[in-house]
Structure formats: structure tokens, C-alpha cells
Amino acid sequence: ILNVEQSPQSLHVQEGDSTNFTCSFPSSNFYALHWYRWETAKSPEALFVMTLNGDEKKKGRISATLNTKEGYSYLYIKGSQPEDSATYLCAFITGLRVKLVFGAGTILRVKS
Amino acid sequence: SAVISQKPSRDICQRGTSLTIQCQVDSQVTMMFWYRQQPGQSLTLIATANQGSEATYESGFVIDKFPISRPNLTFSTLTVSNMSPEDSSIYLCSVRDRGSYNEQFFGPGTRLTVL
């Protein structure tokens, strides 16, 4: 059974704070790791698709790193803004199956 | 990318009734996926819907409880049958971008509350 763990479960920060979340996944048969942002009442939106060990990706104030050997990925948000408030999901795919296995998500709330 | 719409966006239903959720995609796709997120839980795949064939259900999900239709390449429905409070969840449909390591595009979800 594939298990994807995300921590923390929720996070409340002040506007301007930088923050980071963790996604842990099985280190064997790695194919890809996805990060999604899910705002309330909207569709989950893909942030990053990460495929190579040591990958670092950046989109504006958000960046992510990937370590496939130890089975974790970090998502960083620099200078959090209220519009960053959302649930951040990671999803893991093995080379054996097509299916995405999601973590339970990290809920971020940014107070202005 | 694909634009996906779902109806209804939310509903409150009585125990024992059924609800059909519709999913419309703005382009033709071979595979559509139905997910569920129960409160505090992971987004979990219910089934994969292929046009012209029976849906493929994941372990723990059965056709009698979650019948799926896929009449064409842009539309699918998921029915939640004989509902109980445990079926209170967000239900999402999605499609896959084959060219990008299976990146998925999701609908906005249907928030279901069963009383």
C-alpha cells in the first residue's frame, strides 16, 4: 500500500512570513511527484510536476525541491500573502501504475 | 490544459437517497477520473471512466454504490447511491495530461452533505 504523508496538517501564518511544508513518499519505483494548490470552491491547480532527484522548481514566490532517494519533497512560500491561503496537496506516482496517490494536504491560512 | 465544470457545486441530501454528479470537459478525452475527499482525508480515486466501456473501480469502491456513465468523450456522471452520512465528501472529476507526467486537471468539485 502506497502512503503519502504531508506535514503539518495545517498552518496559520502572518502576512509576510515565509513557510514550508513537507511531503513524504515511498522512495522505490519513483516516477513523478506533483504539487497542487486547492483554493476553497475552486479546482485544484497544478503547481509543479517534479521528476528528477535534486529537482528545484520555482513559480513566483513558491518553490519546491525533490529528494527521491530519501522520499521527500519540500514546498516553500516566501513572503506569504492572504491569497496564498489554500490547501496544498502532493501526489505521488510510481513507475508501475498510472494512478496518483495523494497526501491529505496542508491547509495554509495567511492573516493580513 | 482542460477546463472542467461540475454540477451541482454543492448539495445537502437525506440518508437513503441518491445524487448524480455531472462532469463536463471542454475537449475530448479518453479517460476521466472520479475522486472523493472525505473530511480530513486524502483525495482518493474512486474509479476511472473510459468512453464505451465499463468504469474501472479502485479497491473499496463498487459499481452498485457509485455507478458511472461515460456516454461520450466530453461528459461523465457519478451517482452516489443510497447515501449515508459517511458519504459526505467533496467529489471531483479530473482528466489527465498525457504529455506531462500525468498532470491532472480537476473540476471545482461537488460538496455533498448527507444528513
pLDDT of residue A79: 97
Q: Which residue in B103, B105, B111 has the most chain A C-beta atoms within 10 A of its own C-beta, making it the best mutation to test that interface?
A: B103
Answer yes or no: is pLDDT of A109 > 90. yes
| Cβ separation A44–B4 shorter than 8 A | no
List, as ranges, residues 20-59 from B with C-beta within 8 Å of A: 40-45, 58
pLDDT of residue B101: 78
pLDDT tens-digit series, residues A2-53: 789 999 999 999 999 999 999 999 988 888 999 999 998 899 999 999 999 9
Residues of chain A in contact with residue B108, where contact means CB-CB under 8 angstroms, are: 41-43
pLDDT of residue A8: 96
Residues of chain B in contact with residue A102, where contact means CB-CB under 8 angstroms, are: 42-44
What's the gap in Å between the CA of B101 and the closest CA on chain A?
7
Residues of chain B in contact with residue A4, where contact means CB-CB under 8 angstroms, are: 42
- Distance, in Å, from the CA atom of B50 to the CA atom of B76, rounded to the nearest integer, reads 9
CB proximity A35 to B under 8 Å = no
pLDDT of residue A1: 65
pLDDT tens-digit series, residues A51-76: 999 999 999 999 999 999 999 999 99
- Distance, in Å, from the CA atom of B78 to the CA atom of B68, rounded to the nearest integer, reads 5
Residues B78-112 as b/e (b if ≥16 CB within 10 A, e otherwise) read bebbebeeebbbbbbbbbbeeeeebbbbbbbbbbb
Residues of chain A in contact with residue B43, where contact means CB-CB under 8 angstroms, are: 44, 89, 91, 102, 105
Answer yes or no: is pLDDT of A78 > 80. yes
pLDDT tens-digit series, residues B67-77: 999 999 999 99
**A27-31, A42-46, B80-84, B96-100 — most confident range:** B80-84
Half-sphere exposure of B62 (CA within 13 A, CB side): 4
pLDDT of residue A95: 73
pLDDT of residue A97: 60
CB proximity A77 to B under 8 Å = no
List, as ranges, residues 74-103 from B with C-beta within 8 Å of A: 92, 96, 100-103
- Distance, in Å, from the CA atom of A26 to the CA atom of A16, rounded to the nearest integer, reads 33
pLDDT of residue B55: 93
Answer yes or no: is pLDDT of B64 > 80. yes
